[in-house]
Chain A
Amino acid sequence: MNDYVCLIQEGQSADQSREALAEGLKNIGMECFGDNPAATEIGWVVVRKGFGFTAGEPSTTSVVERSVAVGLPQDQREVFLKKTSDLWQQVTDCTGNEVMVMAWDGPLPIQL
């Protein structure tokens, strides 16, 4: 089961930066939740051209989802959300509006 599921747009910056993003996510998981980076699994959903829209226009948005412990304190959740949003912006040069991060209590509702 994936620890993270990342939805990205085919051929865009995040798609071309998967290795750096994966490394960053593993580090964030270790810092925030004590994850073992070597055991962290990341799934990628690559949205084909013509299959992704934001506000009715071709999408440039990435969505990063992660399962966290049920009842995780909000301050810890916000640190994770912020670190992940910052990572995406630094690696892909996207804006904050182009990355959505979600930290779900318990299993992700949609798995790959």
Chain B
Amino acid sequence: MPIYRTTIREGLSNEEQRARIADEIVRIHCGVTGAPQSFVNAYFSEPGGPETGSGELPEGKVALVHATIRAGRTDANKAEIVSDLTHFVAEVLDCPAEKVAVVTNDIPASWCMEGGIVLPDPGTPEEAEWKKRDQSCGAPTG
């Protein structure tokens, strides 16, 4: 957690561009939330492809980023993620920001297991304890 699923119009991105976006997702997410990097997932697909898991593109868009993150982040945090990522994806794909959509979807931490444990809520003493205990191999993010 988190999971950023990005659908990009077929043929519009190459592996180098996707890797840049994946790196930036890590930087933005961790920069905004303070979460460690270990479990920040970025998956890409193209509409109609065999791996499509994030649906078709909205009309007029060339990229859609759907971020599943733990509930408890502030609206300001989420707005910052959406804004920063929208502009970066547009820059990488060389298109206007209006052609990129980024949405976030909260999931309660207690509904998720990663690293064999149920994830703690953001900002709780349980999360702080988990981060301390697991610094070497990554703490829950999202």
Interface positions of A (Cβ within 8 A of B): 5, 7, 10, 45-48, 50-56, 59, 61, 63, 74, 77-78, 81-82, 84-85, 96-97, 99-105, 109-112
Question: With contacts A5-B53, A45-B52 known, is A53 near B42, CB below 8 A?
Answer: yes
> Closest chain A residue to B141 by CB distance?
A55
* Interface membership of B95, Cβ < 8 A: no
B43/A55 in contact, CB under 8 A: no
Q: Mark B19-44, 1 if CB is under 8 A from A, else 0.
A: 10011001000000000011111111
A110/B66 in contact, CB under 8 A: yes
CA distance A37 to B81 in the complex (A): 40
- How many A-B pairs have beta carbons closer than 8 Å: the answer is 113
What is the interface of chain B mostly: helix, strand, loop, or mixed? Answer: mixed
Size range of the chain B interface in the assembly: 35 or more
CA distance A47 to B107 in the complex (A): 22
CA distance A84 to B113 in the complex (A): 9
What is the interface of chain A mostly: helix, strand, loop, or mixed? Answer: mixed
